[in-house]
Structure 1
Protein backbone atom coordinates (compact mmCIF):
# COMPACT_ATOMS: atom_id res chain seq x y z
CA UNK A 1 0.00 0.00 0.00
CA UNK A 2 1.41 3.37 -1.01
CA UNK A 3 1.36 6.75 0.73
CA UNK A 4 -1.67 8.94 0.04
CA UNK A 5 -0.98 12.19 -1.82
CA UNK A 6 -2.83 15.40 -2.81
CA UNK A 7 -3.67 13.68 -6.12
CA UNK A 8 -5.63 11.13 -4.05
CA UNK A 9 -7.69 13.95 -2.50
CA UNK A 10 -5.61 14.30 0.67
CA UNK A 11 -5.44 18.00 1.58
CA UNK A 12 -3.74 17.95 4.98
CA UNK A 13 -0.15 16.85 5.36
CA UNK A 14 0.52 14.21 8.02
CA UNK A 15 1.61 15.76 11.27
CA UNK A 16 0.04 19.17 10.55
CA UNK A 17 -3.04 20.10 12.57
CA UNK A 18 -6.39 20.11 10.82
CA UNK A 19 -7.75 23.66 10.80
CA UNK A 20 -11.22 24.58 12.00
CA UNK A 21 -12.24 25.48 8.42
CA UNK A 22 -10.86 22.23 6.96
CA UNK A 23 -12.85 20.28 9.53
CA UNK A 24 -16.05 22.27 8.87
CA UNK A 25 -15.68 21.77 5.11
CA UNK A 26 -15.12 18.04 5.57
CA UNK A 27 -18.16 17.75 7.88
CA UNK A 28 -20.30 19.38 5.17
CA UNK A 29 -19.66 16.20 3.18
CA UNK A 30 -21.14 14.03 5.94
CA UNK A 31 -24.88 13.83 5.30
CA UNK A 32 -27.10 13.66 8.38
CA UNK A 33 -30.76 13.62 9.36
CA UNK A 34 -32.14 16.99 10.44
CA UNK A 35 -33.71 17.05 13.90
CA UNK A 36 -35.37 19.60 16.13
CA UNK A 37 -34.46 18.91 19.74
CA UNK A 38 -36.98 20.37 22.20
CA UNK A 39 -37.28 20.69 25.96
CA UNK A 40 -39.80 21.97 28.48
CA UNK A 41 -39.93 22.10 32.25
CA UNK A 42 -39.06 24.46 35.10
CA UNK A 43 -36.54 26.35 32.91
CA UNK A 44 -39.10 26.88 30.15
CA UNK A 45 -39.74 25.67 26.63
CA UNK A 46 -36.91 25.80 24.10
CA UNK A 47 -35.56 24.00 21.07
CA UNK A 48 -32.77 23.90 18.52
CA UNK A 49 -31.96 22.30 15.18
CA UNK A 50 -29.37 19.51 15.29
CA UNK A 51 -27.79 17.12 12.84
CA UNK A 52 -25.32 15.76 15.41
CA UNK A 53 -27.63 13.03 16.73
CA UNK A 54 -26.98 9.28 16.65
CA UNK A 55 -27.80 5.97 18.27
CA UNK A 56 -25.56 4.81 21.14
CA UNK A 57 -27.12 1.50 22.20
CA UNK A 58 -30.46 -0.32 22.17
CA UNK A 59 -30.12 -1.63 25.72
CA UNK A 60 -31.15 0.69 27.23
CA UNK A 61 -32.27 2.65 24.14
CA UNK A 62 -29.97 5.68 24.12
CA UNK A 63 -29.26 8.57 21.75
CA UNK A 64 -26.32 10.93 21.65
CA UNK A 65 -27.13 14.61 21.03
CA UNK A 66 -24.50 17.33 20.64
CA UNK A 67 -25.46 20.75 22.04
CA UNK A 68 -23.40 23.92 21.58
CA UNK A 69 -22.63 25.21 25.08
CA UNK A 70 -23.09 28.79 23.87
CA UNK A 71 -26.54 28.24 22.35
CA UNK A 72 -29.61 29.95 23.74
CA UNK A 73 -31.14 26.50 24.42
CA UNK A 74 -28.27 25.12 26.52
CA UNK A 75 -29.33 26.33 29.97
CA UNK A 76 -32.97 25.24 29.51
CA UNK A 77 -31.95 21.79 28.22
CA UNK A 78 -29.63 21.20 31.18
CA UNK A 79 -32.07 22.55 33.78
CA UNK A 80 -35.06 20.59 32.43
CA UNK A 81 -33.14 17.33 32.00
CA UNK A 82 -35.44 16.11 29.21
CA UNK A 83 -35.49 16.40 25.42
CA UNK A 84 -37.57 15.20 22.52
CA UNK A 85 -35.59 14.53 19.33
CA UNK A 86 -37.97 15.20 16.43
CA UNK A 87 -36.59 13.86 13.14
CA UNK A 88 -37.82 16.11 10.34
CA UNK A 89 -39.70 15.06 7.24
CA UNK A 90 -39.43 16.41 3.71
CA UNK A 91 -40.97 19.87 3.60
CA UNK A 92 -39.79 20.85 7.11
CA UNK A 93 -36.96 23.12 5.87
CA UNK A 94 -38.65 26.30 7.12
CA UNK A 95 -39.19 24.73 10.54
CA UNK A 96 -35.53 23.69 10.68
CA UNK A 97 -34.41 27.23 9.85
CA UNK A 98 -36.77 28.68 12.46
CA UNK A 99 -35.09 26.58 15.19
CA UNK A 100 -31.61 27.25 13.78
CA UNK A 101 -30.80 29.98 16.29
CA UNK A 102 -31.69 33.28 14.64
CA UNK A 103 -35.30 33.35 15.86
CA UNK A 104 -36.34 34.27 19.41
CA UNK A 105 -37.04 31.11 21.47
CA UNK A 106 -40.67 32.08 22.14
CA UNK A 107 -41.35 32.40 18.37
CA UNK A 108 -39.88 29.03 17.33
CA UNK A 109 -42.98 27.01 18.22
CA UNK A 110 -45.32 29.25 16.16
CA UNK A 111 -44.86 26.97 13.14
CA UNK A 112 -45.85 23.30 13.20
CA UNK A 113 -48.23 21.37 15.43
CA UNK A 114 -46.81 20.52 18.85
CA UNK A 115 -48.04 18.34 21.69
CA UNK A 116 -46.53 17.40 25.04
CA UNK A 117 -44.61 14.12 25.23
CA UNK A 118 -44.61 11.98 28.38
CA UNK A 119 -41.55 13.87 29.69
CA UNK A 120 -43.20 17.21 28.89
CA UNK A 121 -40.86 18.04 26.00
CA UNK A 122 -42.65 19.32 22.87
CA UNK A 123 -43.26 16.64 20.23
CA UNK A 124 -43.79 17.60 16.58
CA UNK A 125 -46.83 16.14 14.82
CA UNK A 126 -45.68 15.06 11.38
CA UNK A 127 -42.11 14.23 12.36
CA UNK A 128 -40.70 11.08 10.77
CA UNK A 129 -40.10 9.84 14.31
CA UNK A 130 -39.87 11.46 17.73
CA UNK A 131 -37.69 10.15 20.57
CA UNK A 132 -38.83 11.26 24.03
CA UNK A 133 -35.78 11.20 26.32
CA UNK A 134 -34.32 11.84 29.75
CA UNK A 135 -30.74 13.10 29.81
CA UNK A 136 -28.72 10.58 31.82
CA UNK A 137 -25.17 11.85 31.28
CA UNK A 138 -23.38 14.89 29.87
CA UNK A 139 -19.77 15.07 28.69
CA UNK A 140 -18.09 18.38 27.80
CA UNK A 141 -15.99 18.34 24.61
CA UNK A 142 -14.63 21.66 23.34
CA UNK A 143 -17.49 24.00 22.43
CA UNK A 144 -20.18 21.35 22.88
CA UNK A 145 -21.88 19.20 25.48
CA UNK A 146 -22.48 15.61 24.44
CA UNK A 147 -25.82 14.53 25.91
CA UNK A 148 -26.55 10.86 26.46
CA UNK A 149 -30.32 10.58 26.33
CA UNK A 150 -32.25 7.49 27.42
CA UNK A 151 -35.29 7.01 25.19
CA UNK A 152 -38.43 6.60 27.31
CA UNK A 153 -40.99 6.93 24.51
CA UNK A 154 -41.33 6.86 20.72
CA UNK A 155 -43.82 8.25 18.23
CA UNK A 156 -43.62 7.28 14.58
CA UNK A 157 -45.14 9.70 12.11
CA UNK A 158 -46.61 8.84 8.75
CA UNK A 159 -43.96 10.65 6.68
CA UNK A 160 -42.25 8.48 4.07
CA UNK A 161 -39.58 11.01 3.11
CA UNK A 162 -36.95 12.36 5.49
CA UNK A 163 -34.89 15.54 5.48
CA UNK A 164 -31.10 15.38 5.44
CA UNK A 165 -28.42 18.07 5.37
CA UNK A 166 -25.52 17.51 2.98
CA UNK A 167 -23.09 19.93 1.31
CA UNK A 168 -24.66 22.84 3.22
CA UNK A 169 -28.11 22.21 1.69
CA UNK A 170 -31.29 20.33 2.51
CA UNK A 171 -32.13 17.18 0.55
CA UNK A 172 -35.06 14.78 0.64
CA UNK A 173 -34.48 11.07 1.05
CA UNK A 174 -37.22 8.51 0.40
CA UNK A 175 -37.81 5.51 2.61
CA UNK A 176 -38.41 2.00 1.36
CA UNK A 177 -41.88 1.39 -0.04
CA UNK A 178 -44.24 -0.41 2.31
CA UNK A 179 -45.07 -4.05 1.68
Structure 2
Protein backbone atom coordinates (compact mmCIF):
# COMPACT_ATOMS: atom_id res chain seq x y z
CA UNK A 1 0.00 0.00 0.00
CA UNK A 2 1.34 3.42 -0.94
CA UNK A 3 1.64 6.16 1.66
CA UNK A 4 0.39 9.29 -0.06
CA UNK A 5 -0.04 11.44 3.02
CA UNK A 6 1.59 14.85 3.13
CA UNK A 7 4.46 15.30 5.58
CA UNK A 8 4.17 17.83 8.43
CA UNK A 9 6.61 20.14 6.60
CA UNK A 10 4.58 20.10 3.40
CA UNK A 11 1.37 20.87 5.28
CA UNK A 12 2.97 23.97 6.80
CA UNK A 13 4.08 25.30 3.39
CA UNK A 14 0.89 24.43 1.55
CA UNK A 15 2.75 21.94 -0.68
CA UNK A 16 1.36 18.46 -1.19
CA UNK A 17 3.26 15.21 -1.20
CA UNK A 18 6.45 14.12 0.53
CA UNK A 19 9.41 16.40 1.13
CA UNK A 20 12.59 16.18 -0.97
CA UNK A 21 14.55 14.20 1.63
CA UNK A 22 11.89 11.51 1.86
CA UNK A 23 11.61 11.39 -1.94
CA UNK A 24 15.39 10.97 -2.37
CA UNK A 25 15.43 8.22 0.27
CA UNK A 26 12.58 6.42 -1.47
CA UNK A 27 14.26 6.68 -4.87
CA UNK A 28 17.55 5.38 -3.42
CA UNK A 29 15.75 2.10 -2.80
CA UNK A 30 14.81 1.67 -6.47
CA UNK A 31 17.56 -0.03 -8.48
CA UNK A 32 18.44 1.63 -11.79
CA UNK A 33 20.88 0.97 -14.62
CA UNK A 34 23.87 3.33 -14.72
CA UNK A 35 24.58 5.28 -17.90
CA UNK A 36 27.09 7.84 -19.08
CA UNK A 37 25.38 10.41 -21.27
CA UNK A 38 27.74 12.22 -23.65
CA UNK A 39 27.55 15.01 -26.20
CA UNK A 40 29.87 16.73 -28.66
CA UNK A 41 29.45 19.55 -31.13
CA UNK A 42 29.88 23.31 -31.42
CA UNK A 43 29.32 23.75 -27.66
CA UNK A 44 32.05 21.22 -26.86
CA UNK A 45 32.33 17.72 -25.49
CA UNK A 46 30.67 16.92 -22.16
CA UNK A 47 29.24 14.00 -20.24
CA UNK A 48 27.61 12.95 -17.00
CA UNK A 49 26.55 9.82 -15.12
CA UNK A 50 22.79 9.26 -15.04
CA UNK A 51 20.24 6.78 -13.77
CA UNK A 52 17.29 8.93 -14.91
CA UNK A 53 17.05 7.39 -18.38
CA UNK A 54 13.77 5.90 -19.62
CA UNK A 55 12.47 4.57 -22.93
CA UNK A 56 9.62 6.67 -24.32
CA UNK A 57 8.40 4.93 -27.49
CA UNK A 58 9.65 2.41 -30.03
CA UNK A 59 8.21 4.17 -33.09
CA UNK A 60 9.97 6.44 -33.51
CA UNK A 61 12.52 4.96 -31.11
CA UNK A 62 13.12 7.53 -28.37
CA UNK A 63 14.25 7.86 -24.79
CA UNK A 64 14.17 10.41 -22.02
CA UNK A 65 17.11 11.73 -20.00
CA UNK A 66 16.96 14.04 -16.98
CA UNK A 67 19.81 16.36 -15.94
CA UNK A 68 20.01 19.03 -13.26
CA UNK A 69 19.75 22.55 -14.70
CA UNK A 70 22.85 23.56 -12.67
CA UNK A 71 25.03 20.93 -14.39
CA UNK A 72 27.77 22.20 -16.72
CA UNK A 73 27.00 19.32 -19.08
CA UNK A 74 23.36 20.39 -19.45
CA UNK A 75 24.20 23.54 -21.38
CA UNK A 76 26.53 21.71 -23.80
CA UNK A 77 23.98 18.95 -24.39
CA UNK A 78 21.17 21.42 -25.10
CA UNK A 79 23.33 23.57 -27.38
CA UNK A 80 24.73 20.58 -29.32
CA UNK A 81 21.22 19.09 -29.72
CA UNK A 82 22.71 15.55 -29.76
CA UNK A 83 23.69 12.98 -27.14
CA UNK A 84 24.62 9.35 -26.67
CA UNK A 85 23.36 7.20 -23.79
CA UNK A 86 26.01 4.60 -22.92
CA UNK A 87 24.70 1.84 -20.64
CA UNK A 88 27.55 0.70 -18.40
CA UNK A 89 28.67 -2.80 -17.54
CA UNK A 90 29.86 -3.66 -14.04
CA UNK A 91 33.43 -3.42 -15.38
CA UNK A 92 32.89 0.31 -16.03
CA UNK A 93 32.29 1.31 -12.39
CA UNK A 94 35.37 3.60 -12.31
CA UNK A 95 34.07 5.40 -15.41
CA UNK A 96 30.72 5.99 -13.69
CA UNK A 97 32.58 7.73 -10.85
CA UNK A 98 34.63 9.83 -13.28
CA UNK A 99 31.52 11.17 -15.03
CA UNK A 100 29.74 11.63 -11.68
CA UNK A 101 32.50 14.07 -10.69
CA UNK A 102 34.04 11.84 -8.02
CA UNK A 103 37.53 11.61 -9.55
CA UNK A 104 38.54 15.26 -9.80
CA UNK A 105 38.63 15.08 -13.61
CA UNK A 106 36.66 17.82 -15.39
CA UNK A 107 35.39 18.43 -18.93
CA UNK A 108 37.56 16.94 -21.67
CA UNK A 109 39.79 15.20 -19.11
CA UNK A 110 36.98 12.75 -18.37
CA UNK A 111 37.26 11.33 -21.89
CA UNK A 112 40.85 10.20 -21.22
CA UNK A 113 39.28 7.30 -19.29
CA UNK A 114 37.78 4.54 -21.43
CA UNK A 115 37.81 4.03 -25.18
CA UNK A 116 35.49 6.19 -27.26
CA UNK A 117 34.21 6.20 -30.82
CA UNK A 118 31.73 8.42 -32.64
CA UNK A 119 28.45 7.25 -34.05
CA UNK A 120 26.15 9.16 -36.43
CA UNK A 121 25.61 12.31 -34.30
CA UNK A 122 29.27 12.72 -33.36
CA UNK A 123 28.55 12.17 -29.66
CA UNK A 124 31.11 9.96 -27.92
CA UNK A 125 30.08 6.30 -27.65
CA UNK A 126 31.90 4.12 -25.11
CA UNK A 127 33.27 1.05 -26.89
CA UNK A 128 32.76 -1.12 -23.79
CA UNK A 129 29.15 -0.08 -23.16
CA UNK A 130 26.43 -2.72 -23.17
CA UNK A 131 24.51 -0.55 -25.60
CA UNK A 132 24.94 2.96 -26.99
CA UNK A 133 21.86 4.94 -28.04
CA UNK A 134 22.87 7.80 -30.34
CA UNK A 135 20.18 10.52 -30.22
CA UNK A 136 19.05 13.89 -31.55
CA UNK A 137 17.00 16.06 -29.22
CA UNK A 138 13.34 16.13 -30.24
CA UNK A 139 12.00 17.89 -27.14
CA UNK A 140 13.41 19.52 -24.01
CA UNK A 141 11.76 21.31 -21.14
CA UNK A 142 12.52 22.38 -17.60
CA UNK A 143 10.61 20.66 -14.83
CA UNK A 144 11.48 22.22 -11.46
CA UNK A 145 15.25 21.68 -11.01
CA UNK A 146 15.87 19.47 -14.05
CA UNK A 147 15.88 19.49 -17.82
CA UNK A 148 13.77 16.65 -19.18
CA UNK A 149 15.20 15.84 -22.60
CA UNK A 150 13.67 13.49 -25.14
CA UNK A 151 15.96 12.14 -27.81
CA UNK A 152 14.98 10.42 -31.01
CA UNK A 153 17.38 7.52 -31.47
CA UNK A 154 19.24 7.63 -34.79
CA UNK A 155 21.59 4.70 -34.20
CA UNK A 156 21.98 1.84 -31.74
CA UNK A 157 25.28 0.04 -31.21
CA UNK A 158 24.98 -3.20 -29.22
CA UNK A 159 27.98 -4.19 -27.12
CA UNK A 160 29.01 -7.44 -25.53
CA UNK A 161 26.55 -9.08 -23.13
CA UNK A 162 28.02 -8.91 -19.63
CA UNK A 163 26.87 -7.98 -16.11
CA UNK A 164 25.14 -4.58 -15.85
CA UNK A 165 26.14 -1.81 -13.44
CA UNK A 166 23.20 -0.71 -11.32
CA UNK A 167 22.81 1.88 -8.56
CA UNK A 168 20.69 1.13 -5.50
CA UNK A 169 20.94 2.17 -1.87
CA UNK A 170 23.48 4.87 -2.84
CA UNK A 171 25.96 2.19 -3.96
CA UNK A 172 26.91 0.48 -7.21
CA UNK A 173 26.04 -3.18 -7.69
CA UNK A 174 26.58 -5.82 -10.38
CA UNK A 175 23.51 -7.48 -11.87
Matches within 5 A, 1:78-157: 78-102=78-102, 103-157=105-159
Question: How far apart, in 2, do the equivalents of 1:162 and 1:68 lie?
Answer: 24
SS of equivalent to 1:64: strand
SS of equivalent to 1:109: helix
Question: How far apart, in 2, do the equivalents of 1:119 and 1:15 lie?
Answer: 45
Q: Give ranges in structure 2 of 5+ residues lacking alignment.
A: 11-17
Which has the higher Rg, Structure 1 or Structure 2? Answer: 1
Matches within 5 A, 1:38-53: 38-53=38-53
Q: Select the structure that is richer in helix.
A: 2
TM-fit CA distance, 1:90: 1.1
Output the TM-score relative to the length of structure 1. Answer: 0.88
Cα deviations by residue, 1:66-90 (Å, 9 ceiling, x for unpaired): 0111001011001100000000001
The answer on 1:26 being equivalent to 2:49 is no
Question: How far apart, in 1, do the equivalents of 2:85 and 2:6 lie?
Answer: 38
**Aligned pair count?**
164
| RMSD of aligned residue pairs (Cα, Å) | 1.4
CA contact (8 A) 1:164 1:172 kept: yes
The runs of 4+ residues in structure 1 deviating greater than 4 Å are none
